[in-house]
């Protein structure tokens, strides 16, 4: 930790002498357009994946909750994507999203002749990576939500029924508020994971040419991929360390925001921020 | 185990009709069928990439590139697997990965439970501070330590050896936290006192009294850690500078880079790297899923 902070003030290629450059690394970093591009990409991918993923996970959790037969089989099936190797599955998805791959073949079958430039256009690259993330994490989050659902006391539902609530009201006024801590847990973990995307882009777009890391137009360049490239391809260890610290700052910032949201909405009445967030997801 | 499972099932069964009936709509027959159809569709989407992997690994590259795509497995699987074994030293990297994952998991189980035992049951100076510091490391992204850890390994002369993969991950904050929670809830002080009266010291109490009771929590932590180490990509990619000592993930990525025109062979390699892990997961799945859910809701 301390060493990494020290390194971030140095200019060092790992072999020669270190040269003290003070805050220069950070200054260069803030002027580095690729770095800003990687931050933007990371956030776009994070948004494109997290919002649909959590919504789908909530839906699956409800369905699983109402289904008692074969529940273990369902859980195992939904969880398997999460435990398998990302490298292997990225290779599979890479072929599915190739220009002549399965995804475009299916589009062709339903009449979209040109297909989508999954691995060549900006939106295509981000959607492809997001779809991989959704596939991988949706079951995990669904099981977390399901555990939260099963922890809600039956009496709450009885009370809602006695008060004449319809199912929509029950969902948004009883279930979602009760699930708030679990939803926040899911949001926090997906944010932390989302900021650390690496394998998908690295395996999809591996190239020796630093100018094309992250795919066409570097649209798949993420923060961690850039960190890796600068540190271990270009051997700019100080630069990589500085980037690590900025990544840490970003994650800490999000942790604080999330924490504020929890404690803030707990102080407000029962229909705090999380409820509104949940309601938005629900629609 | 069996008893516990039945109890779990009973609870869900008796809650489900009232709660979900209200949450999702009336529990009519039609609704139930739709729910089942939707769930099965989800299972299909979840599992399809694996099926597709099997299809691609068992045909020729030409078949993969043809249109319309071939949707049923072919007869080339063994041939493709043979190619993988020939091109990247598959068994060597499988062996490396196994060594790293097994020793890594054993070390994590040992050190995490030992530390957790001390944190849960003993008083010592600066305990709160140490635990707080430990939890703080949980928040730090692994990438922050990527560069310094690599430099440290290089200084030790470990870069490129399996030690560099095993030692830095030999204990972790999550495991200590998880085991400490478990120790606090399920290891009665009376039992330790009884052991003390019989003259057992710290280590003996840990090994003979606490360890047997930790078993369920260790099972989850063990599978979780094993899968994590097996799948780790960025750290082995960085630190395994010696091309003879690759882990499966890195070898597979290399296979993809070097032979990416030979789709079928790359897919066979991917399949071979995924199967052992799925087996491990399926063996421990029931434990794993239950404990995962418990960990999240108690947070």
**pLDDT at residue B174, rounded to an integer:** 87
Within 8 A of B239 by CB-CB distance, chain A residues are: none
B261 touches chain A (CB under 8 A): no
Within 8 A of B269 by CB-CB distance, chain A residues are: 88
**pLDDT at residue B94, rounded to an integer:** 92
Give A218-250 pLDDT, tens digit per residue: 888 898 899 888 888 888 888 888 888 888 888
Interface test with B, best of A72, A87, A135 (most B CBs within 10 A): A87
A159 touches chain B (CB under 8 A): no
**pLDDT at residue B27, rounded to an integer:** 60
State yes or no: pLDDT of B22 exceeds 70.
Answer: no
Considering only CB atoms, A185 lies closest to which of B231, B249, B299, namely B299
CB distance A14–B145 less than 8 Å? no
State yes or no: pLDDT of A168 exceeds 50.
Answer: yes
**pLDDT at residue B2, rounded to an integer:** 39
Q: Which two tokens stand for residue B120?
A: 């849960």
Give A78-115 pLDDT, tens digit per residue: 999 998 888 999 999 998 898 888 888 888 888 777 77
**pLDDT at residue A79, rounded to an integer:** 92
Give B147-193 pLDDT, tens digit per residue: 888 888 888 888 888 888 888 888 888 889 889 988 988 888 889 99
Give A246-270 pLDDT, tens digit per residue: 888 888 888 788 777 766 555 444 4
**pLDDT at residue B292, rounded to an integer:** 78
Count of alpha carbons within 13 angstroms of residue B247, beta-carbon side: 28
Report which DSSP code applies to B145. G
State yes or no: pLDDT of A1 exceeds 60.
Answer: no
Q: What is the pLDDT confidence band of residue A278, given thresholds at 50, 70 and 90?
A: very low
State yes or no: pLDDT of B26 exceeds 70.
Answer: no
A144 touches chain B (CB under 8 A): yes
- A58, B19 in Cβ contact below 8 A? no
CA nearest B19 in A: which residue?
A157
Task: Give the three-state DSSP class for B73.
Answer: coil
Compute the distance between CA of residue B7 and CA of residue A94 in angstroms, rounded to an integer: 44
Compute the distance between CA of residue A184 and CA of residue A179 in angstroms, rounded to an integer: 9
B126 touches chain A (CB under 8 A): no
Q: Where are the alpha helices (DSSP H) in B66-201?
A: 77-87, 90-121, 127-139, 146-156, 163-166, 173-186, 189-197
Compute the distance between CA of residue B193 and CA of residue B134 in angstroms, rounded to an integer: 28
Residue matched to tokens 């707080």? B132
Q: What is the mean pLDDT of residues B224-232?
A: 91
Considering only CB atoms, A74 lies closest to which of B43, B237, B273, namely B43
**pLDDT at residue A10, rounded to an integer:** 65
**Mean pLDDT, rounded, of chain A:** 81
CB distance B231–A170 less than 8 Å? no
**pLDDT at residue B19, rounded to an integer:** 43
Residue matched to tokens 């003070």? A22
Q: What is the pLDDT confidence band of residue A22, given thresholds at 50, 70 and 90?
A: low
**pLDDT at residue B25, rounded to an integer:** 46
Interface of A with B in 233-252 (CB under 8 A): 237, 240-241, 244-245, 247-248, 251-252
Q: B248: which residues sit within 8 A by CB, 6+ positions away?
A: A85, B93, B94, B96, B97, B230, B273
Tell me the angle at which helices A176-195 and A237-267 cross, rounded to the nearest 10 degrees.
Answer: 170
Interface of A with B in 54-73 (CB under 8 A): 60, 62-68, 71-72
**pLDDT at residue A16, rounded to an integer:** 57
Give A146-155 pLDDT, tens digit per residue: 988 888 888 8
**pLDDT at residue B230, rounded to an integer:** 92
ipTM > 0.85? no
Count of alpha carbons within 13 angstroms of residue B25, beta-carbon side: 9
Considering only CB atoms, B148 lies closest to which of A7, A93, A94, namely A7
Interface of B with A in 228-247 (CB under 8 A): 230-231, 233-234, 237-238
Q: Where are the alpha helices (DSSP H) in chain A?
A: 2-7, 24-31, 33-66, 71-83, 86-96, 102-109, 122-150, 154-162, 167-169, 176-195, 199-204, 223-228, 237-267, 273-282
CB distance B49–A1 less than 8 Å? no
Q: B187: which residues sit within 8 A by CB, 6+ positions away?
A: B117, B120, B121, B209, B210, B213, B214
**pLDDT at residue B8, rounded to an integer:** 39
Question: Largest alpha-carbon pair distance within chain A?
Answer: 76
Q: Which of B103, B79, B250 shows the shortest CA–CA distance to A86?
A: B250
More confident residue, B245 or A60: A60
Residue A122 sits at φ, ψ, to 5 deg, of -60, -50
Percent over 70 (pLDDT), chain B: 89
Give B111-158 pLDDT, tens digit per residue: 999 999 999 988 888 888 888 888 877 777 777 788 888 888 888 888
A77 touches chain B (CB under 8 A): yes
**pLDDT at residue A275, rounded to an integer:** 39
Within 8 A of A9 by CB-CB distance, chain B residues are: none
A194 touches chain B (CB under 8 A): no
Compute the distance between CA of residue B185 and CA of residue B29 in angstroms, rounded to an integer: 43
State yes or no: pLDDT of A276 exceeds 50.
Answer: no
Give A107-147 pLDDT, tens digit per residue: 888 877 777 888 888 899 999 999 999 999 999 999 999 98
**pLDDT at residue A117, rounded to an integer:** 84
State yes or no: pLDDT of B11 exceeds 70.
Answer: no
Q: What is the mean pLDDT of residues B29-54?
A: 90
**pLDDT at residue B134, rounded to an integer:** 83
State yes or no: pLDDT of A279 exceeds 80.
Answer: no
Considering only CB atoms, B147 lies closest to which of A92, A181, A231, namely A231
Within 8 A of B271 by CB-CB distance, chain A residues are: 88
Considering only CB atoms, B42 lies closest to which of A60, A85, A102, namely A60
- B68, A109 in Cβ contact below 8 A? yes
- B61, B189 in Cβ contact below 8 A? no
More confident residue, B108 or B26: B108
Least confident of A64-68, A223-227, B270-274: A64-68
State yes or no: pLDDT of A282 exceeds 80.
Answer: no
* DSSP per-residue string spanning A105-151: HHHHHTT-TT---TTTSHHHHHHHHHHHHHHHHHHHHHHHHHHHHHT
**pLDDT at residue B3, rounded to an integer:** 39
Interface of B with A in 186-225 (CB under 8 A): none
Residue matched to tokens 């635990």? B131
């Amino acid at each position: 930790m301390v060493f990494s902070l020290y390194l971030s003030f140095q200019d060092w290629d790992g072999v020669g002498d270190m040269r003290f450059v003070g805050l220069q690394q950070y200054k260069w970093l803030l002027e580095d357009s690729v770095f800003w591009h990687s931050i933007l990409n990371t956030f776009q991918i994070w948004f494109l994946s997290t919002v649909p993923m959590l919504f789908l996970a909530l839906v699956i959790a409800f369905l699983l909750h109402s289904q008692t037969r074969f529940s273990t089989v369902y859980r195992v099936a939904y969880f398997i994507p999460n435990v398998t190797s990302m490298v292997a599955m990225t290779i599979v998805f890479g072929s599915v999203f190739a220009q002549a791959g399965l995804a475009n073949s299916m589009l062709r079958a339903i009449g979209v002749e040109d297909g989508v430039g999954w691995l060549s256009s900006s939106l295509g690259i981000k959607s492809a990576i997001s779809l991989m993330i959704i596939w991988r994490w949706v079951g995990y989050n669904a099981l977390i939500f399901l555990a939260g659902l099963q922890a809600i006391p039956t009496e709450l539902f009885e009370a809602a029924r006695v008060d004449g609530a319809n199912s929509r009201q029950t969902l948004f006024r009883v279930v979602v508020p009760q699930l708030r801590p679990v939803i926040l847990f899911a949001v926090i973990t997906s944010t932390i994971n989302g900021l650390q995307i690496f394998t998908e882009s690295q395996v999809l777009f591996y190239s020796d040419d630093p100018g094309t890391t992250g795919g066409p137009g570097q649209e798949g360049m993420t923060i961690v991929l850039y960190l890796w490239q600068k540190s271990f391809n270009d051997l700019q260890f100080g630069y990589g360390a500085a980037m690590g610290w900025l990544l840490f700052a970003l994650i800490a910032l999000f942790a604080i925001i999330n924490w504020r949201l929890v404690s803030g909405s707990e102080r407000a009445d029962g229909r705090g921020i999380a409820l509104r967030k949940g309601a938005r997801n629900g629609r | 185990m069996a008893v516990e499972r039945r109890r779990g099932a009973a609870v869900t069964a008796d809650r489900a009709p009232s709660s979900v009936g209200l949450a999702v709509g009336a529990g009519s027959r039609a609704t139930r069928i739709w729910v089942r159809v939707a769930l099965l569709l989800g299972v299909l989407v979840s599992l399809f990439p694996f099926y597709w992997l099997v299809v691609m690994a068992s045909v020729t590259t030409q078949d993969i590139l043809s249109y319309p795509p071939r949707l049923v497995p072919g007869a080339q699987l063994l041939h493709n697997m043979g190619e993988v074994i020939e091109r990247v030293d598959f068994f060597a990297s499988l062996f490396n990965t196994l060594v790293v994952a097994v020793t890594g998991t054993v070390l994590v189980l040992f050190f995490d439970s030992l530390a957790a035992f001390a944190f849960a049951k003993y008083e010592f100076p600066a305990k709160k501070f140490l635990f707080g510091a430990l939890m703080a490391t949980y928040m730090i992204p692994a990438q922050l330590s990527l560069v310094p850890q690599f430099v440290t390994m290089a200084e030790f002369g470990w870069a490129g050896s399996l030690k560099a993969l095993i030692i830095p991950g030999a204990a972790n904050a999550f495991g200590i936290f998880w085991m400490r929670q478990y120790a606090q809830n399920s290891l009665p002080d009376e039992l330790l006192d009884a052991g003390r009266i019989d003259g057992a010291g710290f280590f003996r109490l840990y090994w003979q009294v606490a360890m047997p009771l930790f078993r369920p929590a260790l099972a989850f932590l063990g599978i979780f850690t094993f899968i994590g180490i097996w799948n780790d990509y960025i750290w082995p990619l960085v630190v395994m500078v010696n091309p003879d000592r690759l882990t499966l993930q890195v070898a597979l990525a290399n296979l993809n880079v070097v032979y990416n025109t030979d789709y079928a062979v790359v897919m066979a390699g991917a399949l071979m790297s995924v199967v052992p892990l799925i087996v491990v997961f399926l063996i421990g799945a029931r434990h794993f899923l239950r404990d995962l859910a418990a960990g999240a809701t108690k947070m």
